[in-house]
Structure 1
């Protein structure tokens, strides 16, 4: 009996030692991912159409009140515009411009992202390029990224706040499978840099991403598909929004307005398309401020922070 107990003790100690070693290794890998600023940029998460009759009603599904365009749809992670072709044609190009906002937050850690892309609505195939603003311990950094889901996203370069981004994604005319993602970042001092990325897509992927085009402000997620604390980005103006060379409000497109809603609060909402047919804004609601002059503290949305854990690195994609 003593020998059996001794052997059992050795087995338990061995198991604990191995488990501890795995935990340490796992933790080190996770920490590396956190330091590399890795996040999940996801496909569209649709909730339904916003009930306009309830948006000004404290007891309704939407708690805050302000002017919203009619037929606004809701999402848990996106806000902006989605366009779909009115015919059987597929999209092969998209463009858009925006100025990187000076984000803020009462959280020590918060993020926001702006991007253009093709796909991600009817399937998880999504080709996108954009910027992510991250606040960490009071310091803000901005990265330009590109991503071809389900592949990991990749950071291209860091840019200063206030830079203007002009981005375009299009299929190359010289190849049946090559696509180009290009952007020009014009800094506040007038200096400009242009970067170009080439990638190869198969016909099935091209067909899926050709079903929709997007100009989006997003709240990224962590590895457990939990939304991260959203930074207050104020108002971001998108301009030059074209798809297949046509204006966003062209008759060749069916457009959908998307508001980001969480726990009954509208966190980011879009404007109507401007008279030029190619511009609109997305505006975020500061979660720590009253939402309108009639609102009280009941209307405030306190973000729940989802801290990273040791296993998230298995699902976290690099970039924005």
Structure 2
């Protein structure tokens, strides 16, 4: 599987160039360019993945669901992670995704809403997000190569959406956490709920659990599951054939 390296930005990170035939034509004006690391395809085995949560394989036209942003403790300025929903990235070289990032580079958690049509870099929205906020997200295919990504902070009352174009396979759907730096801050629990794919409960797609950075998903039931610190999950090392391109 050809997968990318996602690494920390302190300025602007440009995603590593890939040989995939992916056409990227944004259909709406770009908002603020993301200033944190980008997020992309899955790497690593189920018990040591860069994604932690549930991943389904099949043919998908939509995923939607919610989660609550946890209270986190920064252990180092390298800590960085995001909770997100998306299509593709498991068995493909694109990812259509949206979520909320928590960045500890300043020494305290800073939360940012974003979307990404990988291999293009992520784009941040400027809306405020805080720990404890209830977030709802969806990624919907509108036909060949057309997608609508929507992110709502139900606690603060804002919604963002963007229409994008990307030639993609739509072969996976996921509700996950990810740390491009392979360093997660500490949190006790993150709850996903109301997850659906193709308009049906996420459970119906028989998704598989993946652990990441010490966080393990509990049982999926009725489109809901929780990620908590667990045993036996280790932080994977990036493959040597995925060098980063970083601009400070």
TM-score (normalizing by structure 1): 0.60
- Structure 2 CA distance for aligned equivalents of residues 31 and 219 of structure 1: 15
Q: Is the 8 A contact 1:130 1:145 kept in 2?
A: yes
User: Is 1:99 matched with 2:68?
Assistant: yes
> SS in structure 2 opposite 1:194?
strand
> SS in structure 1 opposite 2:11?
helix
User: Is 1:153 matched with 2:122?
Assistant: yes
CA 1:123/1:176 → structure 2, altered by over 3 Å: closer, same or farther? Answer: closer
Aligned residue number for residue 166 of structure 2: 201
* 1:220-259 to 2 correspondences below 5 Å: 220-221=180-181, 227=182, 229-250=183-204, 253-259=205-211
User: Is 1:218 matched with 2:178?
Assistant: yes
* 1:56-95 to 2 correspondences below 5 Å: 73-85=46-58, 90-95=59-64
Give the deviation of 1:76 after TM superposition.
3.0
Aligned partner (choices 283, 297, 313) of residue 246 of structure 2: 313
Q: Is the 8 A contact 2:92 2:171 kept in 1?
A: no
Aligned partner (choices 226, 229, 235) of residue 284 of structure 1: 229
- Structure 1 residue runs of 5 or longer lacking an equivalent are 1-29, 48-72, 222-226, 262-266, 286-290, 292-298, 305-310
Aligned partner (choices 136, 146, 149) of residue 166 of structure 1: 136
Tell which deviates more after alignment, 130-139 or 229-238.
130-139
- Structure 2 CA distance for aligned equivalents of residues 32 and 249 of structure 1: 39
CA 1:282/1:313 → structure 2, altered by over 3 Å: closer, same or farther? Answer: same
- Structure 2 residue runs of 5 or longer lacking an equivalent are 1-8, 14-33, 238-243
CA 1:176/1:141 → structure 2, altered by over 3 Å: closer, same or farther? Answer: same
- Structure 2 CA distance for aligned equivalents of residues 260 and 220 of structure 1: 11
- Structure 1 CA distance for aligned equivalents of residues 98 and 207 of structure 2: 20
* Number of aligned positions between the proteins: 212
> SS in structure 2 opposite 1:74?
coil
- Structure 2 CA distance for aligned equivalents of residues 153 and 284 of structure 1: 27
Aligned partner (choices 11, 14, 22) of residue 32 of structure 1: 11
- Structure 2 CA distance for aligned equivalents of residues 167 and 31 of structure 1: 27
- Structure 2 CA distance for aligned equivalents of residues 38 and 242 of structure 1: 28
- Structure 2 CA distance for aligned equivalents of residues 141 and 128 of structure 1: 20
Larger radius of gyration: 1
CA 1:119/1:31 → structure 2, altered by over 3 Å: closer, same or farther? Answer: closer
